[in-house]
Amino acid sequence: MAGLNKIVLIGTILSNPEAKFSVEGTPITKFWVDINGGFNQPSGKIEVVCWQKLAEISGSLTKGLNILVEGQLRIRSYEDQSGSRKWVTEITATNIVKLAGGGQEVVAQVSADKEASDSEIEEIEPLPEDDLPF
């Protein structure tokens, strides 16, 4: 049976995005997101990794912004310089939504499959509160 690997979280960016390129020249952007555990729950942080178009666009995100991240959870290992095996848990982002203030208004959205301009973030119109369907 095939599994499903999808994660959606809302958090605050803890560090300005770090942009670099893979050996093959693919753009990669990484940053840390703080995840509030809620009342009497511990909070934590997780690294978000963006590739290709999303990496180029997410470079405009800054420390302190509230965002919603959609993606896949990745657990990988590598050997450090001393030969010890290290494990990393990270999110490979497929979509990022920048949230306003207290996370109530969607201001902009970037997506891994965005076809338009490389450096523009698509603006999204917020719904008026008196026009909500419920």
Q: Average the pLDDT over 85-95 and give the result.
A: 93
Query: Domain range spanning residue 116?
Result: 7-131
Q: Tell me phi and psi for residue 130, to 5 degrees.
A: -80, 0
Indicate whether 119 pLDDT > 50.
no
- Secondary structure class of 133 (helix, strand, coil): coil
Indicate whether 19 pLDDT > 80.
yes
In a domain, 125, yes or no: yes
**32, 44 in Cβ contact below 8 A?**
no
Q: Average the pLDDT over 111-120 and give the result.
A: 49
When divided into structural domains, the chain yields a total of 1
Q: Average the pLDDT over 102-130 and give the result.
A: 52
Indicate whether 7 pLDDT > 80.
yes
Looking at the chain, how many residues does it have? Answer: 134
Long-range contacts of 33-40 (CB under 8 A, 24+ apart): 33/9, 33/67, 33/69, 33/91, 35/9, 35/11, 36/11
pLDDT band at residue 120, thresholds of 50, 70 and 90?
very low
Question: Looking at per-residue confidence, does 83 or 117 come out higher?
Answer: 83
In a domain, 67, yes or no: yes
